[in-house]
Amino acid sequence: MRSLAKRLMVEDPPGPKSPDAEITAAFPASDRLRPYLATLMGKGGFRALLLRALALASEDVLWLRAVQVRADGSVEGLEALPTPPDPIELLEGRVVLLAQLLGLLVAFIGPGLTSRLVGETWPHISPADLDFSHEGKNEKTK
């Protein structure tokens, strides 16, 4: 799952493509998924899912423990870190959080629906690259 998350981050970096998305610099990928998922599950539903993803991701990336999820589902707290993560660590944190979020979606709604949802969010990614059937949830990026 992490390699796919990394591909999503690297090959098609999130930009302000959705007018509804308030893109924050810290976690653009989850912000990009937010409008789609909030329509489906409500802001509260999305926040609950992201909180779980963050809790899981924090086990691997320690600095993520300092960030919080706002009521609207956006992530804050990166600026308050005593030592800001370097770009490599920042990318890893983003990738791990996105991977956990996608992993949760796969667990709840299955690989098929997750592929469709991610495909709509990242339309430039080939559908062949969005096969979640064989993605391992705990696969490491390093």
Contacts with other proteins, residue ranges (CB under 8 A):
38-45, 49, 108-110, 112-113, 116-117, 120
CA nearest 47: which of 26, 61, 33, 65? 33
CB nearer to other proteins: pick between 39 and 133: 39
Closest separation in Å from C-beta 17 to other proteins: 16
CB nearer to other proteins: pick between 22 and 120: 120
CB nearer to other proteins: pick between 26 and 118: 118
What CA–CA distance (Å, rounded) separates 76 from 112? 31
Closest separation in Å from C-beta 84 to other proteins: 33
What CA–CA distance (Å, rounded) separates 10 from 7? 5
Give the contacts of 32 (CB within 8 A, at least 6 positions apart): 14, 17, 18, 21, 23, 121, 122
CB atoms inside a 10 Å sphere around CB 83? 7
Contact indicator for 4, 99 with CB cutoff of 8 Å? yes
Closest separation in Å from C-beta 93 to other proteins: 24
Closest separation in Å from C-beta 98 to other proteins: 17
CB nearer to other proteins: pick between 40 and 62: 40
